[in-house]
Amino acid sequence: MPTFKIAVIPGDGIGPEVVQEALGALKALANRRQFTCEFFEFPWGSSYYFKHGKMMPNDGLDTLRAYDAIYFGAVGHPDIQDHITLNNLLLPIRRSFDQYVCLRPSILFPGVYSPLKGKAAGKIDMAIIRENTEGEYTNLGGFHYQGLPQEIAVQTALFTLQGCQRVIRYAFQLARRRKRKKVTSITKSNALGYGMVLWDKAFIQVAEEYPDISTESLLVDAACMEFIRQPESFDVVVASNLFGDILTDIAAIITGSMGLAASGNINPENQFPSMFEPVHGSAPDIVGKGVSNPLAAILSAAMMVRHLGEEEAAQHLERTVVDLLGQGDILTPDLGGTATTSQVGHAIIKALEA
């Protein structure tokens, strides 16, 4: 029986609330599917920052390196600027462990309603791949003349041919495993004449290796429009760090709720642990109210199980979530229901144990 060591960082806000339910689901799933998950929890995040002046200990990355995967809740606090929380916890993990693929599925599930008119369940089914370690979020740049009227800020986006090629190649490999076999590249090379031109070059080069996959390239503004106008036209979408960040939030909303948005920060070569997390963030406005939707966290756990090689177990957990949504009786307020976080989690566990 395989045993997986999972580092758990519940984090901030509603992170601990949804992580608790997801871990319960994982334990029930493991019991049914004959594998074991050993969970090791680390209290890093904003509370740790208030006590120690940093988001995690100096040896935090070395500690995480020993685990098979990392399961993450959320990060962010109203009293800490976002660039501090991200650049001192989440982004260092992604970069240090070369988690260059951020995979975010966006599916309109049965029983879930899109704010877009006339979109039936299953008609929106896309996998968005966001480059996760370079591009616009490399945090290169600086300030000059700080505090003076002529203050200057320089923000540099870093693109490498290798970095573009490898994430684009992952998109094509994923498309080969899907029915429609189509990859859409997101660019802005008409205005960003260096980084995005290199991105386009990489896309053309990699596409030549996959003649069985249909392709298109869209400017990011046009892609945002088409996500709203005809999201069903997309299959696999690959984008840079910034563009992928924006588009995945749009995709989450048009498929019903941020509370269903799962993600994986993946090192495909398994040289380092990958990290799985719901997209919704810490949501400080609803902390402690018992209304946060744990399904994104549970679906992220399914992604983690799949990455660890337990495909049938991952499918089982995903089917359990889809069945619950289709029944429509136990849903949190973001999906039009009245159930609490724990009630949804309990329903998933009960179904897994049945």
Supply 178's token pair.
Answer: 């899907």
Which amino acid, residue 154?
A: V
Predicted pLDDT at 259: 94
H or E segment and range at residue 137: strand 135-144
Predicted pLDDT at 33: 80
Enumerate the active-site residues: 145, 188, 221, 245, 249
Predicted pLDDT at 83: 87
The C-alpha atoms of residue 262 and residue 326 are separated, in whole angstroms, by: 18
Domains 1-100+274-354 and 125-254 in one fold: yes
Q: How many residues does the chain have?
A: 354
CATH class belonging to 1-100+274-354: alpha beta
Per-residue pLDDT of the chain (354 residues; tens, 9 = 90+): 899 999 999 999 999 999 999 999 999 999 888 899 999 999 999 999 999 999 999 999 999 999 999 999 999 999 999 889 988 999 999 999 999 999 999 999 999 999 999 999 999 999 999 999 999 998 899 999 999 999 999 999 999 999 999 999 999 999 999 999 999 999 999 999 999 999 999 999 999 999 999 999 999 999 999 999 999 999 999 999 999 999 999 999 999 999 999 999 999 999 999 999 999 999 999 999 999 999 999 999 999 999 999 999 999 999 999 999 999 999 999 999 999 999 999 999 999 998
Helices H / strands E in the chain, number of each: 12, 12
Q: What is the dihedral of CA 194, 205, 307, 97, to 10 degrees?
A: -40
Domain 125-254 has CATH 3.30.70.20: no
Supply 114's token pair.
Answer: 């899109």
Q: Which residue has the tokens 């660890």?
A: 308
The domains of the chain are located at 1-100+274-354, 125-254
Supply the DSSP string of 323-352, one letter for each residue. Answer: HHHHH-SS--GGGT----HHHHHHHHHHHH
Supply 277's token pair.
Answer: 């997390």
The C-alpha atoms of residue 330 and residue 280 are separated, in whole angstroms, by: 20
Q: Which residue has the tokens 């290798």?
A: 162
